[in-house]
Structure formats: structure tokens, C-alpha cells
Amino acid sequence: MTIQKENNKKLVLIGLLIGLIFAELDETVVSTAMPTIIRELHGLSLYGWVAGVYMLAVTMFMPILGKLADLYGRKRVYLSCMALFITGSIVSGLATSMIMLLVGRGIQGIGAGGLMPLALVIIGDTYPLEQRAKIQSLFGPLMILPQLLGPTIGGYMVGHVNWHWVFLINIPVGILAAVVLSIGMRESRSEEKRSIDWAGAITLVLALLSLLLAPVLIDNNGLSWSSPIIIGMLVLAALFIALFIWIEAKVKEPIIPLHLFRNRNVVVLSTLVMILMLGIMGGIATFPFFAQNVMGLTPTAAGYLTLAFMAGAIPSSIVNGFLITKVPYRNLFITCFILPIIGFYLMSQIGVDTSVLYIVITFFIIGLGIGALFGGDNLIVQESVEKENSGVALGTVQLFQSLGATIGLSIFGSLLSRNIKEGVAGLADQLPAGKVENIATGGIPAGLAPDLVDKIQSVFAGAFQHIFFISLFFVIASFFVTWFMKKEILSKREEEPEQVGA
């Protein structure tokens, strides 16, 4: 499969950016509107499943859609993903029940699972290496727009229009993105008939479903990681993974070719993003809870406080995008990943008296370090594998990233809740009846004596210190993983005689 030279590169890039920004915007807008949606659909018991179903669909179909794009063409599969995202938006927007909403979010998730990896692959096929490095370094920072605009748009839609339009607004935007890309992109595909590894695809979906349903059930059904149901699901996931590996070793066109795991950069980057996301997402995602209950910030201010992370990631990503074709990328990653170690050590020292400036500086330092990923990981993967495997390779690395983030959010969330409950339990005789359980999720109730509030805030601070201290060890592990990257300057595939390293 090749991309013809008469592509209109600007239209291709504009079409991809419109699609990606609005797919990301959908997430923040929906989360803002969810309380209203849940109230109108009487679906409080299924609240967490709205995000859970979407996440499951995104993660399960990432590598499958990447492989289909390698087989049948990037443009065809990308437009199919956009069509699925629009279809899911229609179903969600017309939902009259929680079940219908969950179905719509699942369809949206399948489509979203192909949008980001395939957008990167299409850019890889359209632009030469140095231009691509600069463009891809801006992709991560551009995703800050949905975080900035989402709460405002979601609040306006719910307050002045109707929550249904939170989803329906995706339809014209998605169609616009698809039309612009269709006009700008010309793709020639081989007419050779290719087989699909249906057995591998089904087994992979079952393996990921068994694995990822565990944290979703823990978050939404009150189960623990030691529950027999959860242990059974994890064992089942392990059996399906073993079966999947056996199938992939036998078939002609595997969904995830096993030879990818003999590629040093694919293995190192998959390990890096999984360990990093496993360790940091739980702490960063739950930090607004600390900011509201201990620092006394409003929900809006607490949410925007974490944007200091992006303020560091943006310049770091841009600089790394320029340097990655001039300096050995291992050196860039090693240097940058010292900064998150410093940042998470500082986060492990937070307390009741922590200032906003302290948090802003700390998140900025963390962003400066992790910005190296925005500027380089996907590019390194693309240039480390054969062109016909770039879609599935990117999908596989992003699968590991998504797995780490999903499992990390659940584990750290459970750990935080347990630590707060245990700490507050000692104050139960001073609290109104039934409040101990609610504090871990609902925050500090109003009307308490100032000295009691101080004690509860100290419990919160201790719980967050604990999870950030654990995060610090994951970040240190990520730093050591970067040393296993190849010590080479990123260059065009044609200039590299050997692509696969043991």
C-alpha cells in the first residue's frame, strides 16, 4: 500500500486535526454533562459504565483497526472509524434510556479506537521524516484545546440548549473532517485479496474484555482486586492471551504479528508507556479531589490547575520534535525522564499547607519531562518497523499505554479510597453518622468544626503523599527503561539497513 504524491497535504492535516480534536472534545464535554444526563435518564447506578464502556471499546479495537488499515488502506479504515464515531454519537444523542446511551458510547469507542493511531500513520505516509517530527510533536499539545473548551461547551449545552446536543454536535463536525480528508487524500491500494485473522481478533477482544472489565467492575460495583470474581476474570484473561499467542504464531496475517516483539524499540516503548501510565495516571487524575478538599479550590480551578502539566509538555514536545532527527533519541529520553522523578518526589511531599504555586511548578516540571513522549514515541515506532506494519505497531504500543492508564486509575483510586477511609475511621466518633464512607468519595461535608476539618485534611494529605510516593517508584522504573532504547539518531527507513533489533 502506497500513498500517491498528489495528496493535498494541508487538507489531509486539517481533516485529521478536526477529527481528533473533536473526538477528544467529546470526552470532556460528555463528562461535564453527565450529572444532567444521569438525572434525566435515571441512571445513577450505571454512571461509571458510561466511561467504562467507552474505554473498553477504545482499548480493545486499537490494534485490530491498526491491522485492518495495514491490510485494506489507511483512508478507508479511518473514514470507517469516523463513520462509527458519528453513528455512536447519533445513538447516544437520541438515547431515551441508559442502555441506549451505553450502546452509543460503545460504538463511539470503537470508532475512536482507530482515529488517533491511524491519524499518525496517515501523517507518516504523507510527510517526510523531519516535517513529520515537527507535526507530531504538536499533536499532544493540541489536545489541550479540548480540555480548555470542554467544560465551557458542555456547561453551555446543558444550560442553554439540551444535553442531547452534546452528542449530536459531533455529526456535522465529523462529516466535515471526513469530507476534507477525502478530498485531500489519494491512496492507492493493492487489489490482492488479504485474509483477516478472525480467530485472533475474537480471542484478543475476549482477552482484553476479561482483563479490562476487572477494573471497571471494581470501580462501579464495589468489588476488590482480591474478589473471587476479579481473580477469575484475570485468570480467564491470561488463558485467552495464551490462546491468542498460539493463534498468532500459526496464521498467515496475524492481528498482532509476533515479530513486532522482536523489535527492540517496540518492546521498550510499549514497556515504557505502560509502566509510566500505570504509575502516574491515578495520582494526576485524582489530584483535583485533593485541590478541592485540602487546598480549598473550586472544582473548575482544581481542574484547570493540572493544565500546568501541559504548559511544560508543550515546549518540551516541540523542542524534542526538532531535536529527534539530530540527536540520539535515547539521550533525549534519558535527559527528559530525570524531570518526572524530581516532580513526583515533590508531589510526595504535599501537605495541608501546600500552595497553588508549588503545585503549578511541580506539574510544570513533570510536563517538561513527559513531553518527550509527545514529541517522539509514535515517530520512533513508525520508523522502527516496516511500512506495512506501521498501523498495527502504533496500535499495539497505544494498547499498552491504554492498559497501563486504565489499570493504574483503578488501582490507585482504590488505594486512595482505602487510605482515606482508614484514616477517617479514627475520627468516626466526631463525625455525623454515615459520613465516614462518604468522605472518601464525596469530600469533606460542610458544617464541621474547623479543628475536625484540619484533621480530615491531614488524612487526605497523607493518603495522597502515599500514592505519589508509589508513583515515584514507577517513574524511576520508567527512567531505567529509557536506557534500553537504541542509541541512534532517528532517520528515514530507506537510510537504515537494519530495522529490527533483538
Residues 338 and 408 in one domain: yes
Parent domain of 241: 197-252
Residues 161 and 69 in one domain: yes
CB-side neighbour CA atoms (13 Å) of 328? 11
Structure-model confidence comparison of residues 23 and 438, the more confident one: 23
Listed range (18-32, 328-342, 388-402) with the worst mean pLDDT = 18-32
From CA 290, how far away is CA 447, in angstroms rounded?
19
From CA 93, how far away is CA 101, in angstroms rounded?
8
Residues 209 and 108 in one domain: no
Q: Of the candidates 108, 117, 121, which has an alpha carbon nearest to the alpha carbon of residue 82?
A: 108
Amino acid found at 321: G
CATH number, domain of 69, equals: 1.20.1250.20
Residues 272 and 186 in one domain: no
Residue ending a domain, choose from 175, 193, 211: 193
Q: Of the candidates 83, 88, 92, which has an alpha carbon nearest to the alpha carbon of residue 65?
A: 83
Q: Which pLDDT value is given to residue 473?
A: 92
Residues 247 and 277 in one domain: no
Arithmetic mean of pLDDT, 431-439:
61
Q: Which pLDDT value is given to residue 148?
A: 63
pLDDT beyond 70 at 161:
yes
* Grid cell 473498553 in the structure block, residue: 56
pLDDT beyond 70 at 499:
no
Listed range (90-94, 119-123, 218-222, 453-457) with the worst mean pLDDT = 218-222
Q: Which pLDDT value is given to residue 475?
A: 92
* Cβ contact 379:390 at 8 Å: no
What is the 3 state secondary structure string of 137-181? HHHHHHCHHHHHHHHHHHHHHHHHCCCCHHHHCHHHHHHHHHHHH
Q: Within the chain, how many helices (H) and strands (E) appear?
A: 19, 2
Residues 178 and 243 in one domain: no
Residues 203 and 215 in one domain: yes
Residues 290 and 422 in one domain: yes
Arithmetic mean of pLDDT, 362-385:
81
Residue ending a domain, choose from 227, 252, 277: 252
Arithmetic mean of pLDDT, 327-347:
90
From CA 24, how far away is CA 247, in angstroms rounded?
34
Residues 368 and 314 in one domain: yes
Residues 221 and 361 in one domain: no
- Concatenating the DSSP letter of every residue in 69-101 gives HHHH-HHHHHHHHHHHHHHHHHHHHT-SSHHHH
Residues 489 and 344 in one domain: yes
Residue ending a domain, choose from 206, 236, 252: 252
Q: Which pLDDT value is given to residue 445?
A: 67
Arithmetic mean of pLDDT, 317-336:
84
pLDDT beyond 60 at 190:
no
Q: Which pLDDT value is given to residue 436?
A: 59
Residue 425 C-alpha cell reads as 475511621
> Tens digits of per-residue pLDDT, 127-156?
776 676 667 666 666 666 666 666 667 666
pTM for the whole structure = 0.80
Q: Number of folded domains in the chain? A: 3
From CA 256, how far away is CA 240, in angstroms rounded?
14
* Cβ contact 185:16 at 8 Å: no
Residues 293 and 398 in one domain: yes
Listed range (61-65, 303-307, 394-398, 437-441) with the worst mean pLDDT = 437-441
